[in-house]
Structure 1
């Protein structure tokens, strides 16, 4: 609190200049009136008090103005000093600029009322034209600085409001940027996992088979599958790296997978899953010529792709079935795979696959479930994807 009451250096200069100016005027005998009640050096008392109040007009505007009114009235009982009057106008101005919002609203109206009352009082007391001059002088001393203070305060408040709006706009822009970067990173993470994980899982499984079985034919078949998946995975990696390196702000032209490519995807799955006695079938119930939004087709394709990858890792020997059902406003994707007792996965996993599938469905506003359908039966992944605009995002790559 002590530091907050320390006067500003500008206020110190104003107080010193006002006090020295008043002393100079008094020394040369320049006064405002005769000073019948308190002649002589009494004029220096309100002068000194007003100069002292200048030190407080920023930190304690109400107290400075109230005491300044008393000092001004006392100055009228002496010979009067122009310096005292000028410093009082500064007190009125400061009380509006630095005071509370309520004081800033009330003081201008009070000065108007005081000026009108003074004008009427002088006219009724003196009954001369000179009384009007006294009333106008009171108005200049009070109304003019109060009005100036209102204009300055309004300008300052408008500038502060503009600064706050600019800061809020910058904050919102930064939040949007962070959200966009986060969403893009999540999208790229899903793409990397869904595209590359299947190839790497097949490589790991067949490499294990090649190392564990000392049969030339089996090893050759495993190495053939490893090479095919390596080449395909490398091509996908190059595509994604090209997207990341495109610094022009425009994405390079890429081919987005569609559900029409499911036959190729399942053919590759049959090749990868043959050593583990996995069979794959497709039950496509979309109907001929069915047109789906690109985000829905991509999400459905990636869900099937990731589910097949999980089947390579975890499914027991048997048949993996992919079903597609198209309704009026939705597409249902269902993948069931044999779910039996196994000592462990054929290839390590991070659990990000289910998370990525769930995120893709959530971005489209759909429903996703994954789990065993019955004990010792099948593991079922089911996704209901709306084909109308009700999702939270596009889900495109």
Structure 2
């Protein structure tokens, strides 16, 4: 006869409690269970043909004829075919009929069937069915002990009762729970391995996604540098070259051509730096080195001005606070961002604006901020540009924790936020004659207390320029 330990199928049952992880019941009866039922049936028939002279626990002899015992046990043996598909049925039918036979007639095959009736629900049933089988085993153990002691309350029969309880009740219960716990632990380990594999796949996908975002971010930074720095130099080259042929003053033409050559050389150097970063495999996060300086921006803004006297008429004014270049006052990363923002603002002022033009960079001591202001006159009928320059300025300001505003102004009050305020649906200014870009970025907080002694007044990059107060709407 096949022993219960040979069963390899997982738990199943139709009476799974809510939240029970037990698999659903088998839709067909496995051939192995049919074989087990046949073996139990053969054991019952063999015990009928060759009786061993056993007696029931409730009294002497048999409480009913052997044919009745055979019928009861055949039904009990047939119910074992559902040990995997419906273990609760096996517990109810096989367990009940075999217990009746043990107490009434005591045929030996009944003890094997009780063993199976207690073991199978624990191994193959839901957790609720397993608890029911354990409870039934406890009741059976008490009944066996009471029956033996009521029949002959002596030491030998007490030992017999305890032996029956251990063999018929405790062994299938402990064995069944051990097999069940082993299977649950194995299933939990398999689930853990599957979860870890899934987590590893998700981490790999996340790493690939992050790498892709890093590449896109690097491309965006390179594109911004090309737009803010290289394009600014090339715009200056174009502007100076155009003005050189139209200026009547020989000195102004020479200055314009010199500025064009200088801007072209700076554009080549910056372009080589960008190419070096793009082709480098050592540092993917490296920033291109640029040749920007406040002097370079001032030279761009004064492009084509013929002489100092005419400059006073055009009203171009440049003022840079020397403390902005002090690394103990302004973090170098903030200064680099300001230079790129200033390059974009100056390029837009030259490309789309008119004189007078103003560039002011100063340190606001109370708020520990650097304020960059770039203004130029505009034609009220001029259409607004694409907005790429304004977006680049806003992005660079936000990258260092600052803010940027821009718009057309005609009187006192702040500029409009970046994003289109200050123009109507046709792209024309609603009011005003000046375009103002104002950027406020913080200094390095940890270095705020280490500033160098400041000069009494900010330095003018153009010492020959006549300082003039800004109009009321520019203050």
With normalisation by structure 1, the TM-score equals 0.72
Partner of 1:370: 406
Higher helix residue share: 1
The CA deviation string for residues 174-233 of structure 1, in whole angstroms up to 9 with x for no partner, is 46445544443433332232223313434555677689x799x89998777665544433
In structure 1, runs of 5+ residues without a counterpart are 57-63, 391-397
2:443 to 387, 393, 396: 387
1:93 to 95, 120, 123: 123
Measure how far apart 1:157 and its partner are: 3.4
Partner of 2:463: none
Matched, 1:14 2:32: yes
Does the 8 A contact of 2:369 with 2:440 survive in 1? yes
Distance 1:141 1:326, change over 3 A: same
Q: Which moved more, 1:220-229 or 1:20-29?
A: 220-229
SS at match of 2:335: helix
In structure 2, runs of 5+ residues without a counterpart are 1-22, 57-61, 102-108, 150-156, 411-430, 447-475
1:194 to 228, 240, 256: 228
Partner of 2:269: 235
Distance 1:189 1:117, change over 3 A: farther
The CA deviation string for residues 97-143 of structure 1, in whole angstroms up to 9 with x for no partner, is xx4xxx4xx66665555444433332122123222233223222234
Residue correspondences, number: 365
Matched, 1:122 2:144: yes
Does the 8 A contact of 2:94 with 2:114 survive in 1? yes
**Aligned mates of 1:278, 1:19 — CA distance in 2:** 108
Structure number with larger C-alpha Rg: 2
SS at match of 2:282: coil
The CA deviation string for residues 68-119 of structure 1, in whole angstroms up to 9 with x for no partner, is 2113324514543847844763432233xxx4xxx4xx66665555444433
Aligned pairs for 1:212-223 (under 5 A) are: none
Aligned pairs for 1:158-307 (under 5 A) are: 159-161=190-192, 163-164=194-195, 167-168=198-199, 171=202, 173-174=206-207, 176-203=210-237, 205=239, 228-249=262-283, 255=289, 261-271=293-303, 279=316, 281-284=318-321, 286=323, 289=326, 290-307=328-345
Matched, 1:73 2:95: yes
Measure how far apart 1:339 and its partner are: 2.9
Please give the root-mean-square deviation of Cα atoms over the aligned residues, in Å.
Answer: 4.4
Does the 8 A contact of 1:194 with 1:302 survive in 2? yes
Aligned pairs for 1:348-363 (under 5 A) are: 350-363=386-399
Does the 8 A contact of 2:380 with 2:432 survive in 1? no
SS at match of 1:317: strand
With normalisation by structure 2, the TM-score equals 0.62
Does the 8 A contact of 1:296 with 1:387 survive in 2? yes
Distance 1:207 1:132, change over 3 A: farther
Distance 1:90 1:31, change over 3 A: farther
The CA deviation string for residues 257-311 of structure 1, in whole angstroms up to 9 with x for no partner, is 78xx212332244347879978451231637844322321222111111111111
Distance 1:34 1:328, change over 3 A: farther
Distance 1:203 1:256, change over 3 A: closer
**Aligned mates of 2:213, 2:51 — CA distance in 1:** 71
Q: Which moved more, 1:171-180 or 1:113-122?
A: 171-180
Measure how far apart 1:161 and its partner are: 4.8
